[in-house]
Structure formats: structure tokens, C-alpha cells
Amino acid sequence: MNAPADFSKGKSHAQTAPAYLSVWNMESYYGESYIVQNISFNVHEGEILALLGRNGAGKTSTLRSIARMDSPQATHGEIWLDHQPLHDMQSYQASAAGIGLVPEDRSIIPGLTVEENLQLAQIAPPIGWSIERLYDLFPRLGERRKQEGVTLSGGEQQMLAIARALARDIKVLLLDEPYEGLAPVIVDEIEKTLRIIKEQGITTIIVEQNAVRALELADRAVILDTGGIVFDGTAQEVLENDALRAEYLAI
Ligand SMILES: Nc1ncnc2c1ncn2[C@@H]1O[C@H](COP(=O)(O)OP(=O)(O)OP(=O)(O)O)[C@@H](O)[C@H]1O
Ligand SMILES: [Mg+2]
């Protein structure tokens, strides 16, 4: 098992680790509860990283901290994206800096059509993929462009949530359980799309309960357990290590 990167003490992370997205000594709290416990990991440009762990391990909290959705006082440490310090930012600034979070609940806006949901994402710069390009990526969304977003099937809503993230000019896509509640055939379709998105140069962190599916897609994996990192290595190593999967992923 690989230990997390050993960062030299006393220096700013920016001086020591030139990774694309870098989380360094990050801690976060909910009130008195210590949730994310001093974690450090890197994500390289263009790769897909699977962030895994049991229920309550701190996966969603980690994604929310990177996207600056938590309260700033509740998170310590450094988060760097392409030489920009996200840890000093609020969520709208992290979004403008290139973070695209697709939350677990998908957050489709009620009362708006598919197309209006996408247009709303482009109301302010930085604008990413054009709506026509998004319909090429997700033809089902193009067919349903006039349909109210919240009336789409679960799989289509997930596609809309991903499309909405790409409608902004993002560097990193953060996906929180994108396969949840979806039939295997729809998971196949979304997985195919995530591979295309990777080919377009977008870096991705995927959080998934369906760990095997996520590992088959990912280049690397980080496993969290009660808020700390217990594994940082290749996805293949996790697929080949039955004991590790049994201990931390219960599969
Ligand atoms: N708003 C909150 N207030 C208090 N505690 C919270 C809050 N949100 C999460 N927690 C706690 O933080 C811990 C980590 O939660 P988190 O949602 O990050 O885990 P997770 O790995 O995403 O779990 P799951 O697989 O169930 O989605 C849990 O113990 C959870 O109860
Ligand atoms: Mg979660």
C-alpha cells in the first residue's frame, strides 16, 4: 500500500508539490466533529481519480471542501488548482477558477426545461462547452430539450447535471455518486461519456459506492476511512487487492 505523498514541513504546498489539483493537510469540522482528518492527495492533469470509502468516511465532505461549499472557518489546510489557491476562495470563486461539482442530489432546477437549466449555467462567464456540443455528447438531452428537467428519468437527470457542469469552463469535474440508483445499462452509457470527457482533457474525481465500476474507469484511487486516507495508489492495485477492498470498501 502506498503512503500518501510525504510533503516537506514548513513550506507552502505550492512550493513543494506542483500537481494539478493538490489537497494538502486539509481538515474540516462540522461544529465540534472532526470530519476530514488532515488529508493530503494530488490529482494529475487529465486523470480520473476514484475517491472511495465506506458510508460516512468523508467523501462528500472532501468534495464540498474542494468546491468551497463548506463554511471557510470549518476547513483548514491548502487546496491548489493549477497554481490558484482555492482554500482562500468562496464557492462562486472556486467555480470561476474551474471547479465543477455535480452533487449527489443532482440539483436540477424545478420549473426550468433541460435547455433553460443549461442556459442558466452560462449566465455568467467563464462559459464552457456550447449547448449544441453538450447535445452531441448527450443526444437524449437534445431530444428532451423542451422537457422540464425534473421530469427526466434518473439517468437523464444525471446527464443533465454533468452537462450543466461542462456548460461552464471547468478544469476539474467532481462527481458525487453519479451511478446511484441507475440501471447497469444507464451506468454503461454515463461511463462511456465520462471517458469522452476525459479525452477532452477534463480532470475528474469520482466518488462512488459502486467501487468496482469507478475503479474500472479511474486511473488512480484514494481510499478514505473515518476521515483519513488509508490508500493512495493506482486503481489497478485496488482491483487486484482483495484484502484492501474487503477491509475498506466491503466488496
Ligand atoms: N451537515 C452535517 N452536520 C454534521 N455532520 C455531518 C454533516 N454532513 C456530514 N456529516 C458527518 O460527517 C461524516 C462524513 O460525512 P460524508 O457525507 O462526507 O461521508 P460520505 O463518505 O460521503 O458518506 P456516504 O457514502 O454515506 O455518502 C459523517 O459522519 C456525517 O455524519
Ligand atoms: Mg457522500
Q: What is the pLDDT of residues 142-159, one digit of tens each?
A: 999 999 999 999 999 999
Closest protein CA for atom 3 of ligand 1: 30
Grid cell in block for residue 35: 470530519
Q: CB of 59 closer than 6 A to ligand 1?
A: yes
Q: Give, as residue ranges, everything with CB less than 5 Å from ion ligand 2.
A: 59-60
- Which percentage of the chain shows pLDDT scores above 70? 92
Closest by CA position to 18, among listed 98, 82, 85: 82
Is any ligand 1 atom within 6 A of the Cβ of residue 57?
Answer: yes
CATH number for domain 17-236, candidates 3.40.228.10, 1.20.1630.10, 3.40.50.300, 2.40.30.10: 3.40.50.300
pLDDT in tens, 73-119: 678 999 999 999 999 999 999 999 999 999 999 999 999 999 999 99
Nearest to 247 by CA among 90, 109, 53: 53
Task: Report pTM.
Answer: 0.93
CA distance linking residue 207 with residue 26, whole number of Å: 18
